[in-house]
Amino acid sequence: MQVLYTASALATGDGRDGHVRTSDGIVELDLAAPKELGGAGGAANPEQLFAAGYAACFHSALRRAARRAKADVTGSVVQAEVGIGPNGSGGFGLTVALVVDLPAVPRAAAEQLVAQAHQVCPYSNATRGNIEVALTVREALAA
């Protein structure tokens, strides 16, 4: 694979209760483990960052698929929900649910676009076979 861009981030402090900063300084955040994981909460956490990145990346892939299909993606939204929990082997695992709104696209076409986006999205390709990813079209035109 020819790498076209590389993002670099540095984590310091105490992991989930530390600090992250990208090499260009655009992203710089304190982190706190969520209360649900026994932390203090009140700051960003890795699952939120992963959800934000996946939602943005998938939305971009969806818009690309829609352009190819000449579909109207006006009002489209992608919500990513990232869950974390014990994996049964002493560690933790993630789940992802992608909920897509395509209000201007008929349901069957919307489901096809979401499936196509899932095949080309870099996050989807990176997680395929490693993380359960549920795809839902929440809003679409009735056929």
Domains identified in the chain and CATH numbers: 1-44 (2.20.25.10), 46-137 (3.30.300.20)
- In the chain, how many H helices and how many E strands? 3, 6
- Per-residue pLDDT of the chain in tens (143 residues, 90 and over written 9): 999 999 999 999 999 999 999 999 999 999 999 999 999 999 999 999 999 999 999 999 999 999 999 999 999 999 999 999 999 999 999 999 999 999 999 999 999 999 999 999 999 999 999 999 999 999 877 76
Pair 72, 78: CB distance under 8 Å: no
Supply the pLDDT for residue 139.
80
The pair of three-digit structure tokens given for residue 40, joined into one six-digit string? 């203090």
The pair of three-digit structure tokens given for residue 41, joined into one six-digit string? 């909460």
Pair 113, 62: CB distance under 8 Å: yes
For the chain, percent helix, then strand, then coil, each to nearest 5? Answer: 35, 35, 30
- What CA–CA distance (Å, rounded) separates 139 from 99? 9
pTM over 0.75: yes
Question: Of 134, 122, 128, 129, whose CA–CA distance to 59 is shortest?
Answer: 122
- What CA–CA distance (Å, rounded) separates 138 from 100? 6
**How many residues are there in the chain?**
143
Supply the pLDDT for residue 143.
64
